[in-house]
Chains A and B, each alone.
Chain A
Amino acid sequence: MDAFLLKDYFFILLFLLVGIGFGAVPLILSVLISPKTIGRDTLKTYESGMIPFGSAWVQFGVSYYLFALIFLAFDVDVLYLFPVLLAYGKDFVIRDFVELCIFVGILAFAIIYAWRKGVFDWKELTG
């Protein structure tokens, strides 16, 4: 079993490395054969033809960060369901269902809580 798993990892590692190669080779190739014309404004950041106004790396209000927080709480918990579902329904035990209900119910509370708190309502961020 362990040797079998090691072979699985070998496949993933091989495809990962070849994936990097498959992405990198055309990039390097294009650098080698493409023309190089450096004008005064060639390497400026694109801003619809205007002269770029400052950097993009500034602090600003991201309206989505609450979504990200809920996602963190949610997605990690959802992953715990996968092993449960693999074993689910093998025998008839109604306790499985009750436990699943409790788990999913607590997950659902996270959504209901955020919903009631108005996270999903779009707010204009001012200032």
Chain B
Amino acid sequence: MSPISDPGFLLTILTQAVEREPGFWNWAFHWFSQEIVVAVIGLLLIIAFVTINAIGLIYAELKIAGHIQRRPATMEVGWHGFLQPVMDAAKLLVKEAMTPTAVNRPLFLAAPVIVFLPVLISFIVLPFSEKLIVRDLNLGLLLIFAFSALNVIGILIAGWASNNKYSLLGALRSVSQNIAYEIPILLSAMSVVVMANSLKMSELVAAQDKIWFFIIQPLAAIIFFVATTAETNRLPFDIPEAEGELVAGFHSEYSGMRFALFFLAEYSNMFIVSAVFVTLFLGGWHGPILPGLIWFLLKVYILVFIVIVARWTFPRLRFDQLMTLAWKVLIPLSLANLLVTALVIKLVR
């Protein structure tokens, strides 16, 4: 029974509080103090990590793109251009934040914040190692799925509120793509959940201490990988912001720091989906010799590397091919995979 749906429970808490009135604050402090310390430390670490991760990934993207195209990429600022993303961020901060007159002002201003919101919340449940997890919620996996849906709403708001044809088209494409690929993500994740019988991130990892789910569930893993690449709007699925046809898609009208927030959210989401993939299929923190944290980050960044390389090697899909891939291939395959998994579980046990 959740406290929100159960007023009686809140009443009990309040009654307890009144009964202990003399030491109420003492009691409340005692009740929450440990959690507050964990939460504040977790928050600081996560905010630092999100920033450093984005800077590192932008640099990696620049460099990998450069070397794939046989040019050295950024070389000027810092050692091999390492400070380029930092300078870019500083530049975006002092850029003029323009709000065109035609936009719907409150929604236009709210959209970047809404798009960024799911990032921090998803980090609550990411299991960096056995101990290093901010809060191991019972419904951890579901929390990530639920809040990443907020991302779609943010994109739709950004596109519609801009009152720009490119933005609107980009947002519509983005939403239809995101909802199409959300189902294969859920279904392929379910194939793992049914084996681990848990949505708790730590238990999902613990279920793989003998054998990674990637080996038992290769099809689900591939579907999950393809669908999450589409969900983060990365090439070859980056139709929402297809530069050649839609300028910058849903964030055409955003400049300066507002654009930077979309960018930050995109790169953080890349990390998050890769981290969820590692948790579900690649055994999370499990690995020999090295500590769990290093294994986890190593696996995640190898995946991110593959995603970046894919961006610079594959051509963009046409929109109908994209939708067909989701509805005619990925969803039926993941449904079948779920049923076969369920049958095999019955046969094995």
Taking a contact as CB atoms under 8 Å apart, the answer to whether A68 and B346 are in contact is no
B241-295 interface with A by 8 A CB criterion: 247, 252-253, 256-258, 260-261
| B183 at interface by CB-CB < 8 Å | yes
Chain B, residue nearest A94 (CB): B346
User: A2: which B residues are within 8 A, CB to CB?
Assistant: 1, 3, 6, 9
| A27 at interface by CB-CB < 8 Å | yes
| A33 at interface by CB-CB < 8 Å | yes
A118 to B64, CA, bound (A): 41
Number of interface residues of B (CB under 8 A): 90
Taking a contact as CB atoms under 8 Å apart, the answer to whether B4 and A82 are in contact is no
Assign chain A's interface to a size class.
35 or more
Q: How far is the CB of B104 from chain A (nearest CB, A)?
A: 9
| B66 at interface by CB-CB < 8 Å | no
Contact partner of A108 (CB less than 8 A), chosen from B35, B176, B335, is B335
Please judge, given known A-B contacts A26-B93, A48-B247, whether A86 and B176 are in contact too, CB under 8 Å.
Answer: no
Please judge, given known A-B contacts A2-B3, A10-B35, A18-B43, whether A33 and B120 are in contact too, CB under 8 Å.
Answer: no
- A-B interface contact total, Cβ < 8 Å: 218
Taking a contact as CB atoms under 8 Å apart, the answer to whether A9 and B187 are in contact is no
| A37 at interface by CB-CB < 8 Å | yes
Contact with A along B117-147 (1 / 0, CB 8 A): 1111101100000000011011000110000
Q: How far is the CB of A118 from chain B (nearest CB, A)?
A: 12
Contact with A along B318-349 (1 / 0, CB 8 A): 01100110011001100100110011011001
User: B138: which A residues are within 8 A, CB to CB?
Assistant: 8
User: A16: which B residues are within 8 A, CB to CB?
Assistant: 117, 120-121
Taking a contact as CB atoms under 8 Å apart, the answer to whether A97 and B43 are in contact is no
Contact partner of B345 (CB less than 8 A), chosen from A12, A42, A89, is A89
Taking a contact as CB atoms under 8 Å apart, the answer to whether A34 and B190 are in contact is no
A73 to B339, CA, bound (A): 20
Taking a contact as CB atoms under 8 Å apart, the answer to whether B252 and A92 are in contact is no
Q: How far is the CB of B22 from chain A (nearest CB, A)?
A: 21
A121 to B109, CA, bound (A): 37
A51-85 interface with B by 8 A CB criterion: 52, 55-57, 62, 64, 67-68, 70-71, 74-75, 78-79, 81-82, 85
> Which one of B194-202, B226-234, B299-307 is at the A interface?
B194-202
Please judge, given known A-B contacts A104-B338, A122-B320, whether A46 and B253 are in contact too, CB under 8 Å.
Answer: yes
Contact with B along A1-39 (1 / 0, CB 8 A): 011011111111011101110111011011101111100
Taking a contact as CB atoms under 8 Å apart, the answer to whether B164 and A34 are in contact is no
Taking a contact as CB atoms under 8 Å apart, the answer to whether A92 and B349 are in contact is yes
B198-213 interface with A by 8 A CB criterion: 198-199
Contact partner of B112 (CB less than 8 A), chosen from A23, A48, A85, is A23
Please judge, given known A-B contacts A19-B119, A97-B342, A101-B339, whether A81 and B190 are in contact too, CB under 8 Å.
Answer: yes
Chain A, residue nearest B200 (CB): A86
User: B332: which A residues are within 8 A, CB to CB?
Assistant: 108, 111
Q: How far is the CB of B304 from chain A (nearest CB, A)?
A: 22
Q: How far is the CB of B178 from chain A (nearest CB, A)?
A: 10
Taking a contact as CB atoms under 8 Å apart, the answer to whether A67 and B323 are in contact is yes
- 17 cross-chain CB contacts under 8 A: A3-B31, A11-B124, A11-B135, A19-B116, A27-B112, A30-B93, A30-B94, A33-B93, A34-B93, A34-B256, A47-B164, A56-B164, A56-B168, A67-B176, A75-B179, A85-B190, A89-B349
In the A-B complex, list the 7 residue pairs whose CB atoms are closest, starting with the nearest. Answer: A122-B320, A64-B176, A30-B257, A23-B113, A19-B120, A85-B194, A71-B179
Interface residue ranges, B against A (CB under 8 Å): 1-4, 6, 9, 13, 31-32, 35, 39, 43, 47, 92-103, 109, 112-113, 116-121, 123-124, 134-135, 137-138, 142-143, 160, 162-168, 172-173, 175-176, 179-180, 182-183, 186-187, 190, 193-194, 197-199, 247, 252-253, 256-258, 260-261, 319-320, 323-324, 327-328, 331-332, 335, 338-339, 342-343, 345-346, 349
Interface residue ranges, A against B (CB under 8 Å): 2-3, 5-12, 14-16, 18-20, 22-24, 26-27, 29-31, 33-37, 42-48, 52, 55-57, 62, 64, 67-68, 70-71, 74-75, 78-79, 81-82, 85-90, 92, 94, 96-97, 100-101, 104, 107-108, 111, 114-115, 120, 122
